[in-house]
Amino acid sequence: MPLFIGGDVVETDSLETFDLFLRNYERCFEESNNQLREAHETRITPLNSCLYVSQREFATSPSNNDVISAIGTDMMTTCHAVVLRCNKSKVTSLGHFDGCATKQGVKGMIDSVINASKYLLQDSIEYMFDLHLIGGFEDERNLSEKLTLDLLSEFHSSKVAEHLPMQFHLKTFCCTTLNQKLISHNDMFIKSPVIFGICVTLATGDLFPCVFDEEAKGPVPALRSARSLHGPHNMTSIYRWKLKEIILEPFTYKPFAEVSLWLQQPDDIIRQYMSTSPEVEPDNFCDHIRATLQFIADNPDPVETVFKDNKPLKYQKKGEAWAQIRSTKTSVSDSFYCSFNRRPKLESEIAC
């Protein structure tokens, strides 16, 4: 199920190194990258009806959603956003990848778009997808470069159980060195990402750089961040588009004995030890980490304090906010979305 650029199949050998890929294909993305990098960064508020995707999450929706108009994410430094859109059904998925469970996350996004498209179109089609990859920069540990290559390789070699004919057309490739600028830091110039956040409009598939207000990152952003910081290392789907619900599956984590000590640390220590790229993190990074650590301190086992009876949390949009759905019933469809329906997995049980 190959990757296409400009109508031609990508040469597998070109995916061996990032430099080789750029040498063969960078020119194909000059115009689209310039437009995206120069676009105005939109501030997302609760009024924008945009579904926020946190690190190691993805969400999928048809274009005619009357509850949300866009899907987006932000706070990416070495992380990447992946946007996948079916040309025929207009079903769109956005994921925030950090290098853990990349293969599983790519497969999950593809499966979710195909399943929604089959339901909406009620026929068997040749699936042609527009693919957009955004994020990262030339960081000292080469984390961005590795993630870029991993994502390209996964889409180039991806397969589905039904062996359906699929084509992934890479339309946007604003990753690593192509998403980079120089900024002043401590009287010197350092490399930094240009785009830290991205949104996709469901109706049109248009992309635009963005930053989210904290109030627009709901529901329960600290809970979701605790999952990526200290929980299981897998990607998770958070949106049930038929019911227009956010669903957060139960998870737990190993004891974090030093959490109180970490909460007392100054900003420079938080940045140094809790970031893959301390010098270029957004201004709200330390506040974000402290809120996450405080959640972990208050909930040493979220299965006991948050996920009562080991059931997922469900939310529906009520006005500008996401309101929790209180229910004691468990439907058959819940088991499809719940990857931890027997016992939440510990961080040590799932490898990146």
301-312 pLDDT tens trace: 999 999 989 999
CA atoms of 221 and 292, how far apart (whole Å): 8
pLDDT at position 123? 73
Residue 196 is classified by DSSP as: S
Query: What integer is the mean pLDDT of 216-234?
Result: 96
pLDDT at position 352? 45
pLDDT band with cut points at 50, 70 and 90 for residue 158? confident
CA atoms of 239 and 60, how far apart (whole Å): 7
57-110 pLDDT tens trace: 999 999 999 999 999 999 999 999 999 999 999 999 999 999 999 999 999 999
Strand, helix or coil at 19?
helix
Whether residue 282 has a cis bond before it, omega within 30° of 0? no
Residue with tokens 């993630």: 147
pLDDT at position 115? 93
DSSP string covering 272-327: HHH-SSGGG--TTHHHHHHHHHHHHHH-SSHHHHTSGGG--EEEEEETTEEEEPP-
Q: Which residue has the higher pLDDT, 336 or 73?
A: 73
174-192 pLDDT tens trace: 999 999 999 998 889 999 9
CA atoms of 219 and 231, how far apart (whole Å): 18
pLDDT at position 347? 39
Flag the least confident range among 98-107, 180-189, 196-205, 215-224: 180-189
pLDDT band with cut points at 50, 70 and 90 for residue 328? low
pTM beyond 0.85, yes or no: yes
pLDDT at position 348? 35
Query: What integer is the mean pLDDT of 286-294?
Result: 97
CA atoms of 225 and 222, how far apart (whole Å): 5
Check pLDDT > 80 for residue 118: yes
Query: What integer is the mean pLDDT of 191-200?
Result: 98
11-64 pLDDT tens trace: 999 999 999 999 999 999 999 999 999 999 999 999 999 999 999 999 999 999
- On average, the pLDDT of the chain sits at 91
pLDDT at position 1? 67
